[in-house]
A and B are shown apart, each in its own frame.
Chain A
Amino acid sequence: MKDEAIYRRLFRTALLIRLVEERIIELYPSDKIQSPVHLSIGQEAVAVGVCDGLKPDDLVFATYRSHGFYIAKGGSLDAMFAELYGRKGGVSGGKAGSMHLAAPEVGLMGSSAVVASTIPHAVGAALSFKRRGLSQIAVAVFGDGATEEGVYHESLNFAALMKVPVLFLCEDNGLAVHSHRPVRQSYRLPEHAKSFGIATRRLEEGWDMLAIRQATLEAAAKVRAGEPFVLEIVTSRYKEHVGVGEDFHFNYRTADGVDAWKRRDPLIVDQKLVEALRPDIEREIEAAVAFAEASPAPGRAELLTDVI
């Protein structure tokens, strides 16, 4: 029954993320959200399972596709919608938008639109934790494409040399924008990480929130003991790389793979629980949208603040 309670908690957060993003899809044609959005629909289980497996003061360094991590880490929904709307009430007063969500008060330490660029930040925070004798860990969240960047290799090497408490979390959706792995990678991620002496685990069941949570708990325990770890979670991006539509008609991928994933997606399969939770979540979302609508736009007084 304990697992049941945890499952329900995870499921609710995952559903919140999905319904938030579905609301974004509805709102998008209205041009109220005037910035690129990278939806995590299909990948919610990763953010939810991972964040639930962390301690509240563990820090997450994320990417432009981070609505899920923002919500799973406990960021304010009102401030998120206002941020997407580009309003003063936004978490960053409208200067960040969807691609740069942050909620340092709950441990989301920023998200960057330049692939792989926050990976060394997690290593740096972990270095600080180690020097100060803290028990916190830092989590670098990135996609499989980011592992092709040089700074990923630099970060693994340094983390292994310094033995800092960092969890490298790869959300493997198999795509870098529209490019598939065979044209991008001559290596296999686990073998590559092992060459630095870093332990790894690859979890194929990226729809399974409890399994992800458990894998995170186990990995985080190792990390907390002072060893970096690479946790690779296979997942599926249902929507286009950026934007709110689907992209199967461009024929760079087929719907089959995504359909197979959807058949195991608890947010689709478990409709009973969805319907039980939906009304409450929708009220929460509508309140956040109303908050954003009512929030004033920033202006000249804000244009040049916080530059230096």
Chain B
Amino acid sequence: MSIAAVKPVQGTRVLSYAGALLETMDAALADHANTFIMGQGVDDFKGIFGSTTGLAEKYGAQRVFDVPLMEEGMTGVAIGASLVGDYPITTHIRADFSFLAMNQIINLAAKYRYMFGGLMRCPMLIRIVVGRSWGQGAQHSQSPQATFAHYPGLTVVMPSSSQAILDMYPAIINRHPGPVISIEHRLLYNLDFTVSPSEHRVPLTSYVARKGSDVTVVATSVMVLEALRAAQYVEDKAGISAEIIDLNSISHPDWDLVAASVAKTGRLVVADTSWLEYGVAAEVCRQLVVRDPGLLRQPPTMLGMAPAPCPTAKSLEDIYYPSQHETVDAILTQVKGDKHGIALPVERSMTEGYKRFRGPF
């Protein structure tokens, strides 16, 4: 199948994911003298995959600066600066490294407003990047949305497009009262998306990425794109109308939106970037079941990483992640049953597709 088969959104310009990040970082520094960005390599020639490039030169080393290898210390420094009125933005070029900052994120940042009865606030943005493909292996591939969203006090988002970044980051940086963890996806950085002005959107919530009536697909991050491609395929090949919900905010999704969609379709696929166990897929099911166990007409299908650490070998990696093949199969099976008899796309590895992906999502 062709990636270009995905329907374009109404948009006014083309902007890459990294470009959207750079624009929002630039705007944050330009608009607020109290904002600063720190992280390993934020001021180097790679600029966090192009998302901070040139900002140190533009705003100076006091606003955009490299740090020693000190994930916990850096996060604590950010909290301290935030407590006195700064807005820190920190980066982790792989989500796995943020685990070194878990103490500050979970024991401190997540607690400070509540634990002190509202006396303290530490608004800040922690940007972490999930890796996938080309042998990222066990420690460059983890996607910790469920881990962070488990802890009250943290707001966790997963922007799936340039538009999501343009919608959310200014709202987070300008208005959000507490710490936010944004889980960005490395595969998305170099993709071009069509974007439109975002003033009408409610940013930190879930939204319908594609309207449909036969099956609901709840997806996160890069799996939203996978779901959109699969939805186009099943529409073309089988006339199936799949509704895609981009969960977008992992800690505070719009469960009414999800439940209303499932009430309409009675069928559910969850496509997440992480493990299924105790994860987003499990939470989607919990939310639906406690509302109404009868919402689903049949057992749902869950797509996520295989229940093992991520292998490095390409042959294993290709079967470790849900492929386009499996995403399409999941949707077809939900609607037509497992003997649907409809040919699956030949492309198995999503990463092959993204190398030549040029939007519109």
Chain A residues packing against B (C-beta within 8 Å): 59, 61, 90-96, 100, 102, 104, 109-110, 112, 114, 117-129, 131, 138, 150-151, 154-155, 157-158, 161, 305-308
Contact = CB atoms under 8 A, between A and B. Distances in A.
A117 B107 contact: yes
B112 interface: yes
Nearest to A306: B118
Given A59-B84, A128-B84, A158 B117 contact: no
Contact of A154 (B72, B112, B113, B116): B72
B116 A151 contact: no
A96 B120 CA distance: 11
Interface string B320-353: 0000000000000000000000000000000000
A155 B116 contact: no
B81 A151 contact: no
B234 to A, nearest CB: 38
Interface size class on chain B is: 35 or more
B293 interface: no
Nearest to B179: A308
Contacts of A151: 70, 72-73, 76, 103-104
Contacts of A117: 76, 103-104, 107-108
Nearest to A101: B116
A119 B86 contact: no
Given A93-B118, A119-B76, A307-B113, A127 B81 contact: yes
Nearest to A166: B80
A131 B36 contact: yes
B163 interface: no
B73 A155 contact: yes
9 contacts: A59-B84, A96-B115, A102-B120, A104-B119, A118-B76, A120-B79, A126-B80, A138-B80, A158-B73
Given A102-B120, A154-B68, A127 B77 contact: yes
Interface string B63-79: 10001101011111111
Of the listed residues B80, B108, B112, the one surrounded by the most CB atoms of chain A closer than 10 A to its CB is B80
B70 A154 contact: yes
Contacts of A154: 68, 70, 72-74
A112 B107 contact: yes
Interface string B292-304: 0000000000000
A95 B114 contact: yes
B82 interface: yes
A120 B68 contact: no
A68 to B, nearest CB: 18
Of the listed residues A109, A127, A129, the one surrounded by the most CB atoms of chain B closer than 10 A to its CB is A127
B120 A104 contact: yes
Contacts of B155: 308
B152 interface: yes
B10 interface: no
Nearest 3 interchain pairs by C-beta: A124-B80, A120-B76, A154-B73
A128 to B, nearest CB: 5
Contacts of A110: 83, 112, 116, 119-120
B88 to A, nearest CB: 8
A198 to B, nearest CB: 15
Nearest to B73: A154
Contacts of A112: 107-108
A128 B81 contact: yes
B178 interface: yes
A109 B63 CA distance: 24
A120 B83 CA distance: 12
Contacts of B70: 151, 154, 157-158
